[in-house]
Amino acid sequence: MKEPESEYQVTWRALRAFQSQLSVSRLGLAYVIEIEFQSVDPDRAAQIASAVADAFVVDQLEAKFQTIGKATAWLQDRLSELRAQASAAERAVVEYKSSNNIVDTGGRLNNEQQVVELTTALGKARADTVEARARYDRVSQILRGNDLDPSEIGTVVDALRNETISKLRQQYLELSQREALFSSRYGRSHLAVVNLRNQMHEIRRSILDEFKRIVEAHKSEYDIAKARDKSLEASLAATVAGSQNTNKAQIELRQLESAAQSYRALYDNFQQRYTDSVQQQSFPITQARVAAHAVRPAEPSSPKPLPILVEAVIGGLVIGFGLGLLREIADRVFRTSSQVEGKLKTQCVASIPVVAPSTKGRGTSNRSHAGSASIRHISRNTGLFSLVLDSPLSRFAESVRAVKIAVDLSGAPTSNKVVGITSSLASEGKSTISASLAQLCAYAGARVILVDCDLRKRSLSRDLAPNATAGLIDVLKDAAELDQVIWSDSSTQLSFLPTVMRSDLSHSSEILASAAMKRLFDRLRATYDYVIVDLSPLAPVADVRAATHLVDSYLFVVEWGKTKIDVAERTLNAARGVYDNLLGVILNKVDLKRLRRYDRNAYYTPYDYYYTE
């Protein structure tokens, strides 16, 4: 026979059943508690929820009343102790003043005022001494050499303010410029040059004499500052020694006054708290209240179909986002200019759009000239080569124009005449960009030569000079003169140096690194305003790294949606000579319609009227 449950067990089981149906939670970040109770009877659920809220408020009120009562009793005992301590401390202050004949006038002692003034004056005097010493050391250091350089005097402020030195220094600089000019024209031994150097020597001696007078003035100023510093130190020491005995009684008095003030402030604070505690005990106010009583629910709380639907939608969105993220991670190619700049740590100078096949065929025919090797006119059958001239308002031409601006405004400290264009792999469009950039620069009136240095592929030579019989290799071998192998464009006067070879070369990098190639490029650099060089790709061959002594700066071409990010990074890291002189990256063959998927700010439709395709 089963034993009946005890009262404790029955109560515990009832509480567990009650807690399983009760739910208490905080609403957001607000100080609001929401109480819910689930029951098959909606009226009973509302009554129990309201009863729980009322019980919580009553419990808070009783707990606060008990806490305030205990605090009030403790404050009474503490106030009695503090009152006695404050009275004793104030009595000690009065007795000490009476025994030491101290009268409080509300001001400082005379010795204290003197110490403050002397300390301030000593600090200023020491700063003046350090400043005078620094000026004297500076001019003395310049004067130690036997031969005073007027350029060093320009670093001394007093020398710059001296009207005599300024005039002599200006005369020296003018004579120095004339001496350099005459030396370059007539030689250093010419009589006029010798006379100029003698005059410069006399001016330097005059500057030295004037500068010595400045040094003596700084030394005198430094000596006076040291004497003032020592005098103030002696006065301060005497004043401090005299005020020590006088201030002993004052220091002890301040300690007693501080203790008395602390006890008095503590007593006043506890007195205020005791008053507040008595008032709260008389009028207890709880910090919690019932904002709204529970009402009978209009519909069941669970199960609810809408949250299930929302969870299903959210789950679908999470799965879709995850699939999209996986696709994005797998798409390791360049899509936007910001992606290029973030991955390769260099600027993206231009994004060149892909040209439709119908646009590529617009080139002006020039077959009559191309067929004659003696005339050596560049073939205009290639549509992309002439697109910057045939369609100057197209997006393609505008993008190439942005590349030219980047070359002109690169801000390189050295000459930026020779620009090499390369890429990671073949077929990324570097040859097309090289030809278009050269044609655009020539159309602007500059002297431009386009050099085909892709000795393995030679695509530019096959497209622009298909009938060439001699070229770059023949000039290096002294088998032909440079003027006899250069092709030109009749409309823009662009010059083109093709590469013609009877068979493939296995030592192309040695040719690019040769001294003959260096002499040829020095000649081109002196003759033309721009030397555009179409180089081999970086990854397959080492030709570009062998040509670093020929090229001033590089443009690196990546193909939109094709060039792998890791390939471009690895290629540039392996060619530090190219990366250190890199003007920027060109994002080529950009699909403008698909680009909007990756960059919402790219090529907005309102700007399309600036272009004509």
pLDDT band at 23 (very low <50, low <70, confident <90, very high): confident
Residues 163 and 131 both lie in one domain: yes
Mean pLDDT score, 483-504: 90
Domain-embedded: residue 134: yes
Where helices occur in 361-447 by DSSP H, the ranges are: 367-370, 383-390, 395-408, 430-443
- Gap between the Cα atoms of 358 and 600, Å rounded: 27
Residues 481 and 568 both lie in one domain: yes
CA 567 to chain centre: 27
Could you report the per-residue pLDDT of 3-14, keeping only the tens digit for each? 787 888 888 888
pLDDT band at 367 (very low <50, low <70, confident <90, very high): very low
524's enclosing H/E stretch is helix 515-527
- Gap between the Cα atoms of 21 and 13, Å rounded: 13
Mean pLDDT score, 542-546: 91
Could you report the per-residue pLDDT of 321-361, keeping only the tens digit for each? 887 777 767 678 998 889 899 999 999 999 999 887 655 54
Domain total in the chain? 3
Per cent of the chain over pLDDT 90 is 27
Q: What is the pLDDT of residue 603?
A: 52
Torsion 18-21-25-27 (CA) sign: negative
Most confident of the following: 39-48, 191-200, 556-565: 556-565
Residues 392 and 482 both lie in one domain: yes
Q: Which residues of 187-201 are buried (b: 16+ CB within 10 A; e: fewer)?
A: eeeeeebeebbeebe
Residues 410 and 316 both lie in one domain: no
Q: What is the pLDDT of residue 241?
A: 66
Most confident of the following: 205-214, 257-266, 330-339, 485-494: 485-494
Q: What is the pLDDT of residue 280?
A: 64
- Gap between the Cα atoms of 278 and 101, Å rounded: 45
Tokens 């005369």 appear where?
Answer: 171
Neighbours of 595 (CB within 10 A): 20
Q: Decide: 417 and 464 in contact? Cβ < 8 Å.
A: no
Q: How many degrees, rounded to 5, is the angle at CA 301 between CA 28 and CA 17?
A: 90
Domain-embedded: residue 287: no
Q: How many degrees, rounded to 5, is the angle at CA 49 between CA 45 and CA 51?
A: 115
Q: What is the pLDDT of residue 497?
A: 95
Q: How many degrees, rounded to 5, is the angle at CA 438 between CA 422 and CA 482?
A: 95
CA 333 to chain centre: 26
Domain that holds residue 419: 352-590
CATH code (residue 450)? 3.40.50.300
- Gap between the Cα atoms of 453 and 472, Å rounded: 8
- Gap between the Cα atoms of 209 and 191, Å rounded: 27
- Gap between the Cα atoms of 459 and 498, Å rounded: 10
Residues 449 and 541 both lie in one domain: yes
Do β-strands 33-37 and 22-26 pair in parallel, antiparallel, or remain unpaired?
antiparallel
Could you report the per-residue pLDDT of 283-329, keeping only the tens digit for each? 566 667 776 677 767 666 666 677 778 888 898 888 888 877 777 67
Domain-embedded: residue 184: yes
Domain-embedded: residue 552: yes
Domain-embedded: residue 44: no
Residues 248 and 185 both lie in one domain: yes
Q: Does the pLDDT of residue 262 top 90, yes or no? A: no
Could you report the per-residue pLDDT of 166-186, keeping only the tens digit for each? 777 777 788 888 888 888 888
Could you report the per-residue pLDDT of 228-239, keeping only the tens digit for each? 888 877 777 777
Q: What is the pLDDT of residue 364?
A: 46
Q: Terminus-to-terminus CA distance in the chain, angstroms? A: 99
Mean pLDDT score, 264-279: 77
Nearest one of 124, 103, 109 to 239, comparing CA atoms: 109
pLDDT band at 372 (very low <50, low <70, confident <90, very high): very low
**CA Rg value for the chain:** 46
Domain-embedded: residue 21: no
- Backbone φ and ψ of 583, nearest 5°: -75, -35
- Backbone φ and ψ of 333, nearest 5°: -130, 165
Residues 584 and 510 both lie in one domain: yes
User: What strands, in cross-sheet order, belong to the sheet with 553-559?
Assistant: 348-353, 582-590, 553-559, 418-423, 530-534, 448-452, 495-497, 487-488
Is the peptide bond between 303 and the residue preceding it cis, with omega within 30 degrees of 0? yes
pLDDT band at 403 (very low <50, low <70, confident <90, very high): very high
589's enclosing H/E stretch is strand 582-590
Domain-embedded: residue 383: yes
Residues 471 and 508 both lie in one domain: yes
* SS3 per residue for 447-514: CEEEEECCCCCCHHHHHHCCCCCCCHHHHHCCCCCHHHHCEECCCCCCEEECCCCCCCCCCHHHHHCC
- Gap between the Cα atoms of 569 and 72, Å rounded: 75
Mean pLDDT score, 205-222: 76
Specify the amino acid at residue 309: L
Nearest one of 258, 322, 328, 268 to 82, comparing CA atoms: 268
Q: What is the pLDDT of residue 370?
A: 40
Per cent of the chain over pLDDT 70 is 79
Structure tokens at 71: 């605090």
Residues 227 and 310 both lie in one domain: no
Domain-embedded: residue 513: yes
Nearest one of 347, 383, 379 to 366, comparing CA atoms: 379
Residues 421 and 546 both lie in one domain: yes
Q: Does the pLDDT of residue 537 top 80, yes or no? A: yes
- What does pLDDT average to over the chain? 79
Could you report the per-residue pLDDT of 496-506, keeping only the tens digit for each? 999 998 777 77
Q: Decide: 126 and 225 in contact? Cβ < 8 Å.
A: no
Residues 307 and 246 both lie in one domain: no
Q: Does the pLDDT of residue 156 top 60, yes or no? A: no
Tokens 């200023």 appear where?
Answer: 124
**Strand residue runs (E) in 55-201:** none
Residues 178 and 311 both lie in one domain: no
Nearest one of 65, 90, 442, 480 to 281, comparing CA atoms: 65
Q: Does the pLDDT of residue 393 top 70, yes or no? A: yes
